Structure 1
Amino acid sequence: MAKEIIHSSEAPAPIGPYSQAVKINGMLFVSGQIALDAESGELINENITEETHAVMRNLEAILRRAGSSFEKVVKCSIFVKNMDDFATVNEAYGQYFKQEPPARETVEVSRLPKDVKVEISCIAAV
């Protein structure tokens, strides 16, 4: 029952005392990702669509590093700064889950790290 800390150089480094992901007992718990570019550390936030795709690319890099994929994701949590962006976020997010999408919730929050508009975390099988 040893846990394994997952780190992908293709996703942004944590900006606090947490791991990108933790693998244990065949499950992967991926920390919330925001739209930071892994190489430059710059925010990708020209618009909510671009920001959501950047978040999903970061999640994908971590999933891949852990030996998982979007097909194995069982649960996502989406945090948005403005619920008015729900449809746009949903459209971009949906492109990554074409069949058998995972369970999820979407919650409006007052503020997110670095004042981004969206943050997404997930749980996947490995």
Structure 2
Amino acid sequence: MEPQVFHTPNAPRPNAFVPQAVIAGNFVFVSGTTGVDITAGKLAEGGYEAQIIQAYKNIKTILEDAGSSMDKVVKITMFMVAGSDPDFSISNRAYASFFPNVTPARSAPQVMPFPGGILVSIECIAVI
């Protein structure tokens, strides 16, 4: 089976050159997803916590529209702006609330600031 680019109108798209996800075999590879609130058309207000919660909501939508779910996520990578969550308490709370039944593998490299006030970008791999 050939990899297929996937887009849903129900979640924000990073840009015209980056797909929301790619489906290959029984896997969904979700591109870096930020805390943009599609209804407001801008980053969720409220800093890092609001952005990470919205990013997970966006991932949930992409996965469900692609035929998967948060319970089927096997790997998460959170790219967070250095200093946004020094002790990971906000990240861990959000992570636990979106993954109450399954604990995917996770890494969280800290990065230099993203453009436009983005504080976190999350990508994941899930099974369909």
- Runs (4 or more) in structure 1 with deviation over 4 Å come to none
Residue in structure 1 matching 2:110, options 93, 108, 111: 108
DSSP 3-state at the match of 2:98: coil
Shift of 1:36: 0.8
Shift of 1:16: 4.5
Alignment match, 2:82: 82
Instruction: Name the CA shift for 1:65/1:113 in 2 (closer, same or farther; >3 Å).
Output: farther
Alignment match, 2:39: 39
Instruction: Report the Cα distance in structure 2 between the residues aligned to 1:38 and 1:21, rounded to whole angstroms.
Output: 17
1:69-118: CA deviation from partner (whole Å, max 9, x where unpaired): 01000000011113451211221122011122100101110122423111
For the 8 Å contact 1:4–1:24, the answer to whether it is kept is yes
Which stretches in structure 2 are left out of the alignment for 5+ residues? none
DSSP 3-state at the match of 1:95: helix
Instruction: Name the CA shift for 1:5/1:103 in 2 (closer, same or farther; >3 Å).
Output: same
Instruction: Report the Cα distance in structure 2 between the residues aligned to 1:124 and 1:64, rounded to whole angstroms.
Output: 11
Instruction: Report the Cα distance in structure 1 between the residues aligned to 2:125 and 2:8, rounded to whole angstroms.
Output: 16
> Could you tell me the percent identity over the aligned residues?
34
Alignment match, 1:10: 10
For the 8 Å contact 2:21–2:28, the answer to whether it is kept is yes
- Please, what TM-score do these two structures have when normalized by structure 1? 0.92
- Please, what TM-score do these two structures have when normalized by structure 2? 0.90
- Residue 50, structure 1, aligned to residue 50, structure 2: yes
Instruction: Report the Cα distance in structure 1 between the residues aligned to 2:14 and 2:112, rounded to whole angstroms.
Output: 21
Instruction: Name the CA shift for 1:74/1:47 in 2 (closer, same or farther; >3 Å).
Output: same
Range that drifts further, 8-17 or 20-29: 8-17
1:26-68: CA deviation from partner (whole Å, max 9, x where unpaired): 1110001101122332111312221111000100110011100
Alignment match, 1:60: 60
- Residue 21, structure 1, aligned to residue 21, structure 2: yes
Instruction: Report the Cα distance in structure 2 between the residues aligned to 1:56 and 1:96, rounded to whole angstroms.
Output: 7
